Structure formats: structure tokens, C-alpha cells
Amino acid sequence: METRILGTDDRRITEAGEILASGGLVAFPTETVYGLGADAYNADAAARIYLAKGRPSDNPLIVHISEISEIDALAEDISDTARELISAFMPGPFTIILKKNRNIPDAVTAGMDTVAIRCPAHPVARRLIKASGVPVAAPSANLSGKPSPTTAAHVIADMTGRIDAIIDGGACDVGVESTIVSCAGEHPVLLRPGGVTFDEICEIAPDAILDKNVLNSIGEGEQPLCPGMKYKHYSPDAEVTVVEGGLLAVKAKIDELLYENRDRVCGVLTMSDNAYDSAILLHGGDSNREYAKNLFSSLREFDRLGAEVVFAEFEARDGYALAVRNRLYKAAAQKVIRV
């Protein structure tokens, strides 16, 4: 299949909307990461997303809307707390899980009786969804298991020949996927940390809890509330180790690790001005927010540069620490050294 690369002028957005409305697949920018969209009312189109990504069929998709008012057409039993969270954080990097109604096919929700809904803030995403005239089911636009794409170039690398079109809208601002909160049970549960922090959620919903799987790996046979958590994620070709703590101690430990790995091509993802000899250096950013924004593109860049091992400096500094740890620990398959 030929994959067209489209700009963001009105004519192209209208064309991309028509592709979605007729059952095709379009990748598009959002403020979090690039999404791979299909008509959420069309089960065959949704099935094509799983095929294009190589995504396990039991991992449900997030339904994207262009206006908050569209939620009532997709979900039912919406609690007062859920409505408060919606008005506080939508449009934005926030996904809410609610009891689904009959309009959403099982292919989108992987047979679950709940649906994940997000209204992105990115103007291109909003214009595209509006142009399609339907809610748009969209996971991240990467091959399953790879780091999520934060530029059109990342999507082109993973999806060329697999989807109908890619809209190039520049780099994503948040850089990690949306915060997911389930409001389908007794208490709101944060299932995945992202651009909206846990503290911000608790200001609106003080009884919110953090799912235990946010920072841990899933045990054998365990069925997490968020099916995506049990899969291998964000895995670059390089073997990643996180070295976490005060940045002086982190520097000493990474120097030791670089010496032990002196026969291999090493990379270091920094959060400081620390210099390292004989390693490929990429700067993640000084704040956790900036580090989140650059994380996935850095992991892809290390692969492109041929790094075999990557050591990632990390120190928790702000509300984005949870979102970074959640992605970084998975990228490192939980290999974390605390100093």
C-alpha cells in the first residue's frame, strides 16, 4: 500500500478525514504522541489498526473526539467525579475510562465493557476528527513494542506501506502518552501516568488511587486493569539501564558501568551537564517534563546511532517523574540501579 505524507492545510485535512470516514488508516499528531486513527464505529477499520501495528488483539484502543459533548454518545453512568475530571483536563493529555454504551464495537474495546475516551488539545488532531465526522479510535502510531512516535519521521520509519496516510504536524509537545484514569469503578484509578500529574488528579478527586502496576512489572498470568500494561513496551534495540538518584552519585556509577562495558558501543541519556568519555551522549533535559518530551525520540536516536547499551541518568524532580519512570523502567525491562 502507498502511504501518503500530508501537510496540515485545510484541503489535506479534509482528504485525511475522508480516508478515515471510508475505513482507512491515518496517522496524525497530538500533543502527547502521534496517533494511528480509524473510524471508531467501524469494526473492520479498527481491526486494521491491530494488523498495521502488530498489536495484540486484547489491548483496547482509545477513542478520540473533537468536542467534549460527544462523550455522552459513547459512554453511560458518568459519575459527578468523572464529569469534574473531564471538565478540568479535557481537551488535553488525559484519557478517561467509562462504562461503554452499545455504539462502540468490541474490536475497539477488545471486548471490555468500558471505553477509553480522549479529547486532544492539538488543533490538527481536532480538525482531523471533526473532518472525519466520526469518533476516531487511535493507539500510538508505532509498531507494537517500539518507542511511541513523537515526530512524523518516527511514524514514517514504522508505518510506511502499512497505512493510508501520515499527517506531518511537527514534533509533539508532551512526548509521552496521555494520563489514563478509570472512573468505571468505586474510586478513580490512575492506570497510566502522563501529562496530567497524579497530584493534579487528586486535587479534583481526592479519593483517586494509583494502580499498583504503574511502576512494577506485571506478574505471570496477572490480569491488569489496563491490558496494555502487560506487554513489552518502548523497547529500543539497545539494552537500557536506568541509574537513578543524586546526579553526582549517578555520574560515578555510570563511569563504572562504561568501564565495564568498554568493548561495546555505549550511549548515555543525560539529565545534567555530566560529561562521559567514549559514549554517545544525548541530553534528555534538565526538568522531568523536558526529559519526558525527549525520551522516546532519544531512544530511537540511540538505535539509529548504533548504541548497544544505554545508561539513562534519572533524578525525580517534578510531577512528571512518575510518567518518565513508568516509560523508562519499561524501556529498561525494569533494570534500575538506585544510587
| Among 30, 95, 114, 140, interactor with Mg ion by CB under 5 A | 140
Pairing of strands 94-100, 75-76: antiparallel
- Least separation, in Å, of the C-beta of 163 and Mg ion? 15
Rounded (10°) CA dihedral 27, 33, 38, 44: 110
Residue from 177, 211, 244, 313 in contact with ligand AMP (CB under 6 A): 177
Partner from Mg ion, ligand AMP, none contacting 112, C-beta within 5 to 8 A by type: ligand AMP
Query: For Mg ion, which is the closer residue by CB, 12 or 55?
Result: 55
Taking the alpha carbons of 100, 103, 108, 111 in that order, is the dihedral positive or negative? positive
- Applying CB under 6 A, among 42, 66, 132, 140 the residue interacting with ligand AMP is 140
d(CA 88, CA 82): 10
Q: Who's near 95: CB < 8 A, 6+ residues apart?
A: 62, 116, 117, 118, 178, 179, 180, 181, 192
Closer residue to Mg ion in complex, CB, 24/139: 139
Q: Is 315 exposed, middle or buried (0-12, 13-18, 19+ CB in 10 A)?
A: middle
User: Is 236 one of the binding residues for ligand AMP (CB under 6 A)?
Assistant: no
* Residue among 302, 312, 299 at smallest CA distance from 253: 312
Q: Which residue is nearest to ligand AMP (CB)?
A: 228
Q: Is 179 a residue that touches ligand AMP (CB under 6 A)?
A: no
The 74-103 contact track toward ligand AMP, x by CB under 6 A, reads -----------------------x------
Give the span between the Cα atoms of 66 and 127, in whole angstroms. 7
Q: Select from 132-140, 193-201, 236-244, 323-331 the region that touches Mg ion (CB under 5 A).
A: 132-140
Cα–Cα distance, 195 to 293 (Å, whole number): 10
The least CB distance from residue 101 to ligand AMP, in Å, is 13
Within 280-339, the residues that bind ligand AMP by CB under 6 A are none
For residue 2, give the C-alpha cell: 502507498
Q: How far apart are CA 107 and CA 55, in angstroms?
A: 12
Residue 144 as a binder of Mg ion (CB under 5 A): the answer is no
Report the residue number, 75 or 152, with the smaller CB distance to ligand AMP.
Answer: 75
Binding residue for ligand AMP (CB under 6 A) from 104, 226, 323, 332?
226
- Least distance in angstroms from the C-beta of 108 to ligand AMP: 8
Strand partners, 167: 6
Residues 6+ apart with CB under 8 A from 148: 33, 34, 140, 141, 142, 176, 177, 234, 296
- Provide the 10 A C-beta neighbour count for residue 336: 17
Q: CB 97 → ligand AMP: shortest distance, Å?
A: 5
- 136 makes contact with ligand AMP (CB under 6 A): no
DSSP run (H or E) holding 250: helix 247-260
Q: Is 114 in the site for ligand AMP (CB under 6 A)?
A: yes
Q: Which residues, 191 to 220, sit near ligand AMP by CB under 6 A?
A: 191
- What's the angle, vertex CA 71, arms to CA 15 and CA 101, rounded to 5? 105
Are 126 and 120 in contact, with CB atoms under 8 Å apart?
yes
The reply to whether 228 sits near ligand AMP by the rule CB under 6 A is yes
Q: Which residues bind ligand AMP (CB under 6 A)?
A: 59-60, 62, 97, 109, 112, 114-116, 139-140, 177, 180, 191, 225-228
Q: Which residues bind Mg ion (CB under 5 A)?
A: 139-140
